[in-house]
Amino acid sequence: MDQQAVFEPLKFERIPKHEQEKRSRAFHDRMLTRRTVREFSSAPVPFELIEKAIRVAASAPSGANQQPWTFVAVSDPDIKRRMRIAAEAEERENYQRRMSDDWLAALAHLGTDWQKPHIEDAPYVIVVFRQAYGVAVDERTGEERRVKHYYSEESVGIAVGFLLAALHVAGLATLTHTPSPMKFLREILDRPDNERAYVLVPVGYPADDAEVPVISKKALDEVLIHL
Ligand code: IYR
């Protein structure tokens, strides 16, 4: 049977205009200090900060509110080492053979290569999985059936945006890393068949001597059209 909608009053705090401006500016200023970090310190991060950020990510809107995501927070050094070895094997192939010259040229200004020490150095690596479909268990027969998930790609993308923002606001550095293909993550992390690795996010503090490439963001008039 279809589940019918049940409504409740919206809790919505209408805040004064000056307060809106203040919060909007503070968030803008804070978010514009975020950089993708590739050199991490191994200094520990309290799990509470990771957990809170994942709670924020898991509050994201999703297609039919199906919440088609799983976040695996890895701090175990052996598991991180296995992920690094597998990621580097794929990335070595990518950089040396699979990526086109155009692709390598597009990346050159970021100075990346196949080596991924951050997977071991960062105290946490959050691997986000997209649930391509759900699995429901029939109450009577115990049989499993597939539940179609709607807009799972978009939903997980939004959740990852929330995650990166939450970690940044908590004073942590992140890297959005997508080794390709990422099948090895499901195997190493022992995730079920319906889950596809979506992104691998090392989290921690930057190394003391961390450097980032000099890049710029597009001007507002290149990205905003106000009609
Ligand atoms: N996944 C590779 C290559 C790479 C691809 C893109 I698109 C980037 O923005 C950065 C890197 C790597 O992680 O090195």
- The pLDDT tens digits for 42-58 are 999 999 999 999 999 99
- Which residues lie across from 36 on neighbouring strands? 174
Residue 145 backbone phi and psi in degrees, to 5 = -135, 155
Average pLDDT over residues 83-112: 97
Q: Number of C-alpha atoms within 13 angstroms, CB side, residue 51?
A: 3
Give the helix, strand, coil percentages of the chain, each rounded to 5: 40, 20, 40
Q: Where are the alpha helices (DSSP H) in the chain?
A: 17-31, 47-57, 77-93, 101-107, 118-121, 152-169, 183-188, 220-223
Instruction: State the distance from the centre of ligand 1 to the C-alpha of 84, rounded, in angstroms.
Output: 15
- The pLDDT tens digits for 151-171 are 999 999 999 999 999 999 999
Residue 100 backbone phi and psi in degrees, to 5 = -70, 160
The DSSP secondary-structure symbol of 206 reads: B
CB 37 within 8 A of CB 173: yes
- Statement: residue 81 has pLDDT above 70: yes
Instruction: Indicate which residue's Cα is closest to atom 9 of ligand 1.
Output: 107
Q: How does strand 133-137 pair with strand 144-148? A: antiparallel
Q: How far, in Å, CA of 108 to CA of 101, rounded?
A: 10
Going by pLDDT thresholds of 50, 70 and 90, the confidence category of residue 2 is: confident
Tell me the domain boundaries of the chain: 34-207
Terminal Cα distance for the chain, rounded: 44
Q: Which atom of ligand 1 is nearest to the CA of 110?
A: 10
Average pLDDT over residues 54-82: 98
| Token couple for 33 | 């200090």
Instruction: Indicate which residue's Cα is closest to atom 7 of ligand 1.
Output: 107
Q: Which atom of ligand 1 is nearest to the CA of 178?
A: 1
Instruction: Tell me the fold of 34-207.
Output: NADH Oxidase (3.40.109)
Average pLDDT over residues 191-200: 98
**Which residue in the block uniquely carries the two structure tokens 């001007």?**
219
Instruction: State the distance from the centre of ligand 1 to the C-alpha of 222, rounded, in angstroms.
Output: 24
pTM: 0.97
Q: How far, in Å, CA of 56 to CA of 46, rounded?
A: 16
Q: How far, in Å, CA of 7 to CA of 184, rounded?
A: 43
Q: CB under 6 Å to ligand 1: residues?
A: 91, 94, 107, 110, 112, 177-180
Q: How far, in Å, CA of 133 to CA of 152, rounded?
A: 8
